[in-house]
Structure 1
Amino acid sequence: MADPAAGRPVTVTASGGTLKAVRVTDAGGGTLTGRAAAGGTRWVSDRKAVPGTSYTVEVTARAADGGESTTRSSFSTPEPERVNKLTLAPGKNTTVGVGHPLSIVFDRPVTRKADVERQLKVTTSNGTEGSWGWVKDWSGRDRADWRPRAYWKPGTKVTLEADLNGTDSGDGWFVRDYRTGFTVGAAQVVKVDLDRKRLTLLRDGRPVRTIPVSGGTPGGDKRSWRGTAVLMAKEGTINMNSETVGLGDAYDKMVDHSMRLTWSGMYAHAAPWNARHFGRANMSSGCIGISDADAASFYGQVRVGDPFEITGADTKGVIAEGNGYGAWNVAWPAWRDRSALR
């Protein structure tokens, strides 16, 4: 046996004769499957040995004279100094809108991005073309998103097999595998025209309703972002405090029907205090303000993952990839180039 180290396949070599059977098990009863190579004189496990684990190796070999013998040995890999974990979105067995990427945020820095990306297998029910891209999350952590070339087709089923157990991220080991899957719902897109101060909900490309709105105040830090945002969460009634988004003491209030669009604090929400400005002027602190009645019904119509395509002449810039799910603001060729395997 050679190279019984964490992060490497287990290799068993016959010292004369050939290998008839190899069984590698860990202390919990799990098995490392593998296959014979080099004419049956070598066996290599399919998966890597995991740090902090004891293994038993049982080998049955056939000698040149036809005799067989079985030997047993064991080895242990050292405990990892650091463990890396991750957070997956969307949640398992959820149904999301056509703009939601498959997103992985890592607890620790990933300096061996190619090694990690090789262990991430995305399967779709209809052969959707897509690519991983590495971004810096708003939290400052490393993040990998898998997005299609264009919005998902409704009904697409997506699964992720992240066979990371035993993979070194460069600043910590993964000590488990991850699985998730989700389904894509109806084809809904929200178009927000800040110049005309209106929002239009499209379903299957057809307008369902149009709502007068008030966006961010022109000319300063209270302007709205432009570009494509993806509805991250429907948070309901929440406290909004301007100090948390760098706007001093401009506001501190409870806000109904809150729909998060970015990590930096851009929402679509009910804003009855701005009623006189809906459809007439952009006078919010950066969010998309809607009347109570319109916000209540619109909140019930949209789904997490629905894209909001926001246009306007006076905005504070395009939504960054890591500020929520901003990958749609990167052209497809440039997004593919963000894969660590290109």
Structure 2
Amino acid sequence: MSTPHRHVRAWAPAALVLAMATSVAACGPATTGADSARDGVSASATPSTPPVRFTVTPAEASTDVRLDAPVTVAVTRGQLEQVDVTAPDGSVLQGALDAAGTTWSSTGPLSASTSYTVHAVATDTAGERVVHDTTLTTLTPVATAFPAVAPLGGSTVGVGMPVIVTLDEPVADDRRDEVERNLHVTTQPQAVEGSWSWQSDTKVEFRPREYWPAQTAVHLDLDLGNVEVAPGVWGTTRDIDFTVGSAVVSTVDLDAHTLTVTRDGEVLRTIPVTAGQTGHGGRYITRSGTKVIMSLEESRQMDAETTGVSPDDPEYYNVAVKYAMRLTNSGEFLHAAPWSVASQGSANVSHGCTGMSTQDARWMFENSKVGDVVVFTGSDRGMEDGNGFSVWNESWEEWTAGSALT
């Protein structure tokens, strides 16, 4: 009988110790999935399952994130299943997962002054799903540079029309290359060789190597939303589509006093004209060179004072003209000039414009569009850079020298 009694006395303390250990474990702090998510470690990890670790870049809970900073979510000891980076309006930042399935990188632009939620789901080596959530907030720009564009979206233009982008904030010299790198011109049905060229710290223009092919669809993508154009100043994104219509190219022979109009290589009409007179220090001589129609106005009041001619000057004029087609910033137009019909085709008597009969001017007006080319020959006075759409007066080498990427 004594042997069983000794066995009971030996077992009882061991049972008591086990019960106490269980009680202590039950009263201790519990580890939850939320705790593990905060640490970027898999909540399902066991001693035999290495924990998933998340790394979010820029650093989690960052503020003042740059708009050109790519967002990445990476995991070790696991595979990513899902990553959503979402703005308050519900829009989702575009991104892609790498081939290994361990790193997601953003491909779309970040918006300014926006708090993004980052939601990532991964699978650990045991096949358990792990969730990780955090936030990122982008910076607020000091200023925003908005790009105005010519031609207008949806318009049909001539083969000489340049693309003109004018920003309302200056671009720093060392940022021109990055700005230009994010201005994209694509064409259909065929690719067109062309180049951007900087005209100032706010204006950059694009022209093809040769005139645009007729009937070309042009798409302009101004992908400047994540480009810092100057310290603290960020761009904005725009898309523009326009069409190049028929190839209307005219030639004005200042010696012969004629305007010859061609469309797609076919001569449509030869019109007698008068152009700028000689004398007066040469200030009224019509410029030779390649000009582009900038605007069409059925009626325009022409006041010589706007070109620097005083009202007390004998050459002063202030007259309404019909069918005015602007060619230069300095005031050269094609227009109706019924008062000079006797000189049209035989003498140059104007103050620099190219005048023709009202009938011919109306026909010209109805058969022209912004961007059509008018080439002038016969005078020693040349076109100045920037005096209208003057891009065709530079050689291709001169034009491309103005690119920040060459």
Q: Are 2:395 and 1:331 aligned? A: yes
2:192 maps to 129
Aligned to 2:306, which of 244, 253, 267?
A: 244
Q: Are 2:383 and 1:318 aligned? A: yes
2:114 maps to 53
Normalized per residue, the structure richer in strand is 1
Q: Are 2:341 and 1:283 aligned? A: no
Q: Alpha-carbon deviation of 1:257?
A: 0.6
Partner Cα separation in structure 1 for residue 198 and residue 390 of structure 2: 10
Aligned to 1:7, which of 68, 72, 82?
A: 68
Partner Cα separation in structure 1 for residue 331 and residue 216 of structure 2: 30
Give 5+ residue unaligned stretches, structure 2.
Answer: 1-55, 59-64
SS of corresponding position for 1:14: strand
CA contact (8 A) 1:19 1:61 kept: yes
Task: Tell me the C-alpha RMSD between the 2 structures.
Answer: 2.1
Label 1:341 to 1:239 Cα distance change in 2 as closer, same or farther (>3 A): same
Q: Alpha-carbon deviation of 1:67?
A: 2.6
SS of corresponding position for 2:97: strand
One-letter code aligned to 1:303: K
What is the aligned residue count?
336
One-letter code aligned to 2:57: A
SS of corresponding position for 1:276: coil
One-letter code aligned to 2:176: K
Q: Alpha-carbon deviation of 1:323?
A: 2.5
Q: Alpha-carbon deviation of 1:215?
A: 1.3
Label 1:21 to 1:213 Cα distance change in 2 as closer, same or farther (>3 A): same
CA contact (8 A) 1:99 1:230 kept: yes
Partner Cα separation in structure 1 for residue 180 and residue 91 of structure 2: 24
Q: Are 2:297 and 1:235 aligned? A: yes
Matches within 5 A, 1:187-202: 187-202=247-262
One-letter code aligned to 1:205: G
Q: Alpha-carbon deviation of 1:141?
A: 6.2
SS of corresponding position for 1:157: strand
Give 5+ residue unaligned stretches, structure 1.
Answer: none
Deviations 1:200-234 (A, max 9, x none): 10122222111111112224222222211111111
CA contact (8 A) 2:287 2:379 kept: no
TM-score (norm: length of structure 1): 0.90
CA contact (8 A) 2:285 2:379 kept: no
CA contact (8 A) 1:132 1:338 kept: no
The structure with higher relative contact order (CA 8 Å, sep 6+) is 1
SS of corresponding position for 1:256: strand
Q: Alpha-carbon deviation of 1:190?
A: 0.8
Q: Alpha-carbon deviation of 1:184?
A: 1.7
1:163 maps to 223
TM-score (norm: length of structure 2): 0.77
Normalized per residue, the structure richer in helix is 2
Percentage of identical aligned residues: 38
1:115 maps to 178
Deviations 1:62-84 (A, max 9, x none): 33443321122222222211111
Q: Alpha-carbon deviation of 1:192?
A: 0.9
One-letter code aligned to 2:300: I
2:274 maps to 214
Aligned to 1:179, which of 232, 239, 242?
A: 239
One-letter code aligned to 2:333: Y
One-letter code aligned to 2:112: P
Partner Cα separation in structure 1 for residue 395 and residue 307 of structure 2: 28
Q: Are 2:292 and 1:226 aligned? A: no
Q: Are 2:147 and 1:89 aligned? A: no
Label 1:213 to 1:166 Cα distance change in 2 as closer, same or farther (>3 A): same
CA contact (8 A) 2:286 2:379 kept: no
2:82 maps to 21
